[in-house]
Amino acid sequence: MSSLAMEVETSGQSRNRQLVEWVEQVARLCNPDRVHWCDGSEQEYQAMIRLMLLGGVAVPLDSERRPNSVLVRSNPADVARVEDRTFICSEKREDAGPTNNWEEPEKMKNTLRQLYSGCMAGRSMYVIPYSMGPIGSPIAKIGVEISDSPYVVANMHIMARVGQRVLEVLGEEGEFVRGLHSLGAPLGANQQDSSWPCNAEHKYICHFPETREIWSYGSGYGGNALLGKKCHALRIASVQARDEGWMAEHMLILKMTNPAGEVKYFTGAFPSACGKTNLAMLIPTIAGWKVETVGDDIAWMKFGSDGRLYAINPEYGFFGVAPGTSTKSNLNAMLAVTRNSIFTNCAVTPEGDVWWEGMTNDKPPELIDWLRRPWTPQSNRKAAHPNARFTTPASQCPVIAPEWQDPAGVPIDAILFGGRRGGIVPLVIEAFNWTHGTFLGATASSETTAASAGKVGQLRRDPMAMLPFCGYHMADYFAHWLKIGARTDAKLPRVYYVNWFRQDENGKYLWPGYGENSRVLEWIFDRCDGRVHAKDTPIGRLPDPDDLDLQGLNLPTSDLLKLLSVDKTGWLGEIPSIRLHFQKFGDRLPQELARQVDDLERRLRAT
């Protein structure tokens, strides 16, 4: 046995034989200079920050303006999730489905083994035990990520519960998701390291659902490298959830309290650029109401003994998109990132603070942009990358709910879907029942914005906002939703579809959005108890204008009527688009959803 393997075996960090043997195997394959088992301590976090500072990966921010925070700037070839290099390597191709890239598992592993061979030479190999969800929670799951990146270790410290306590809960026989990550940039003797090591030529983010493994190579950025996030918490967890009878969803979780002190919990799934994080941290404009954050991105839900779905936020921090975040759009997020944060690909001010587009009304007179170049408002380029990020502890959010770490989770009263639609879709729709709600989620759509790839205004279907994140055939995912709803003992949440982005014929938004969205949440809150009216329409149940609390909101009656109207012609025009969307799933599409399209068309033509 090599001295490296001996070091791993006798480290005393884990009593789990499967884990120790796997770490030894990876060490032999990747050939690092040393192996470090992460303990999750503050000293370890600061050591990772120092390594990044010394290596030129990070620069310190002004300690008075942004205490204990750094700015990291990545390689321009490594700035976002790489969906075209993301694979679901299920044993059968058909199980990956039409929305995922597939490769035969052993073929992909052989390709990656060649790339992993010696890939950590000259580097440290970090073993990162983590818990997605409160440690020991019956809804939580344990994973272990092996990485050669201090950036990954530091971010995982913020984004998950990391360290020795996780290993104690794992015990000798516990199961865990195996995540192997390498930058793919071995160092030769006396070779100087890059300021952002990665492998521009070879990038793979591969998931093996049956064996609960994630193999990532070549990228050091975001969800490609922080394997607890999208890779584990959605792609692998969605398969675990299907197999074990629970739900792993790309959803926020919020707590809402009315003036009488009554509490309800909502989850919400929204595609990008639809205000998901803003809604999770909403500041209501209606007197006496309060919204608190349980989670901003992912919800894991399991049935409790009372038949209700209980949700945890499996994450420990926020990995948010910085551009567009401001005190107007999300004051609570801005307050959360005032300290103890890692900023990636933002601009920096002469005073040593970060800046990004949309952060302030006025642009600073001078900056250093994310590519380390001088920048002024006259520069014909963005100062921050459009996918610039902040990583910050969730505990720093001023409106984090006290029960956000409750291992039992919080009981969900309503599930919200949404998208960015300029026309057709009303402000809010209540589903007739769970099956109809599944249909609304399965047909969720958004119009692309100028910041998105493709033509502006082009319609993109993003079922349950899970299109890039479902770890198996999406038609089977729909079937799993229907199976959840078929439980005879279930007390299911109500399902809603919201659209804050309805426009008039001149492109003006009809609804003010932001904090005013609390008025729609108030209606949903009261609908859960049947305390407020809704009318049946061909597309679902809608409020009448008098059903919404609009006190203090100067909203023209004509705008309100448009927001709450059913555009029969427009909806009939949606039917072919929905049928085409469903066709891609072939004969695996649940017949209940095919019938929903027929029923929608029948109801529309009958009015």
Phi, psi of 180 (to 5 degrees): -115, 125
Calculate mean pLDDT across residues 399-409.
98
pLDDT of residue 10: 38
- For residue 2, is pLDDT > 80? no
Residues 421 and 382 in one domain: no
Of 30, 274, 397, 470, which is the active-site residue?
274
**What distances in angstroms separate CA 507 from CA 406, 421, 423, 444, 502, one per listed residue?**
44, 11, 10, 21, 9
DSSP 3-state assignment of 420? coil
Residues 519 and 436 in one domain: yes
pLDDT of residue 1: 33
- For residue 12, is pLDDT > 50? no
Residues 152 and 189 in one domain: yes
Place of tokens 């061909």: 538
Q: Is residue 456 a contact partner of residue 449, using CB atoms and an 8 Å limit?
A: yes
Residues 12 and 127 in one domain: yes
Say whether 198 is catalytic: no
- Max intra-chain CA distance, the chain: 78
- For residue 470, is pLDDT > 70? yes
Residues 597 and 482 in one domain: yes
> In this structure, what CATH number is given to the domain that contains residue 505?
3.90.228.20
Q: Decide if 158 is inside a domain.
A: yes
pLDDT of residue 446: 93
Alpha-carbon distance of 314 to 593, in angstroms, equals 30
Residues 351 and 454 in one domain: no
Q: What is the dihedral of CA 211, 217, 219, 225, to 10 degrees?
A: 30
Q: Is residue 177 a contact partner of residue 143, using CB atoms and an 8 Å limit?
A: yes
Q: Decide if 75 is inside a domain.
A: no
CA angle 267-273-275, nearest 5°?
Answer: 40
| Helices marked H in 533-606 | 557-563, 568-583, 591-606
Calculate mean pLDDT across residues 204-233.
97
Number of H helices, E strands in the chain: 17, 32
pLDDT interval class at 457 (50, 70, 90): low
Q: Is residue 247 a contact partner of residue 309, using CB atoms and an 8 Å limit?
A: yes
pLDDT of residue 455: 56
Task: Write out the two tokens for 495.
Answer: 């399902």
Residues 353 and 476 in one domain: no
Query: Which residue, 215, 245, 275, sits at the end of a domain?
Result: 245
Q: What is the dihedral of CA 119, 121, 126, 127, to 10 degrees?
A: 60
Residues 366 and 418 in one domain: no
pLDDT interval class at 456 (50, 70, 90): low
CA angle 235-237-242, nearest 5°?
Answer: 105
Task: Write the pLDDT tens digit of every residue in 300-358.
Answer: 999 999 999 999 999 999 999 999 999 999 999 999 999 999 999 999 999 999 999 99
CA angle 527-530-533, nearest 5°?
Answer: 70
pLDDT interval class at 451 (50, 70, 90): very low
Residues 512 and 601 in one domain: yes
Q: Decide if 407 is inside a domain.
A: no
Task: Write the pLDDT tens digit of every residue in 540-599.
Answer: 999 999 999 999 999 999 999 999 999 999 999 999 999 999 999 999 999 999 999 999
The total number of structural domains in the chain stands at: 3
Q: Decide if 261 is inside a domain.
A: no
What's the 3-state SS for 465-523? Answer: HCCCCCCCCHHHHHHHHHHHHCCCCCCCCEEEEECCCCECCCCCECCCCHHHHHHHHHH
Q: Which residues contact 211 (CB under 8 A, 6 or more apart)?
A: 105, 178
pLDDT of residue 359: 98
> In this structure, what CATH number is given to the domain that contains residue 217?
3.40.449.10
Residues 11 and 160 in one domain: yes
DSSP 3-state assignment of 401? coil
Query: Which residue, 198, 216, 245, sits at the end of a domain?
Result: 245
- For residue 32, is pLDDT > 90? yes
Place of tokens 């035990």: 129
DSSP lists the bridge partners of residue 317 as 393
- For residue 528, is pLDDT > 50? yes
Q: Decide if 258 is inside a domain.
A: no
- For residue 452, is pLDDT > 70? no
Alpha-carbon distance of 140 to 184, in angstroms, equals 31
Q: Decide if 273 is inside a domain.
A: no
Reported residue count of the chain is 607
Task: Write out the two tokens for 446.
Answer: 């958004």
CA angle 255-261-263, nearest 5°?
Answer: 30
Task: Write the pLDDT tens digit of every residue in 42-57.
Answer: 999 999 999 999 999 9
Residue 552 burial by Cβ neighbours in a 10 Å radius (0-12, 13-18, 19+): exposed
Q: Is residue 399 a contact partner of residue 292, using CB atoms and an 8 Å limit?
A: yes
> 120-129, 270-279, 392-401, 452-461 — which is least confidently predicted?
452-461
Calculate mean pLDDT across residues 231-253.
98
Q: Decide if 257 is inside a domain.
A: no
Question: Mean pLDDT of all residues in the chain?
Answer: 95
Portion of the chain with pLDDT greater than 70, in percent: 96
Calculate mean pLDDT across residues 377-400.
97
Q: Which structural domain range is residue 534 located in?
A: 413-606
Q: Decide if 92 is inside a domain.
A: yes
pLDDT interval class at 81 (50, 70, 90): confident
Alpha-carbon distance of 370 to 385, in angstroms, equals 7
Q: Which residues contact 574 (CB under 8 A, 6 or more apart)?
A: 424
355 or 447, which is more confident: 355
What value does the CA radius of gyration of the chain take, rounded to a whole number of Å? 24
Residues 497 and 572 in one domain: yes
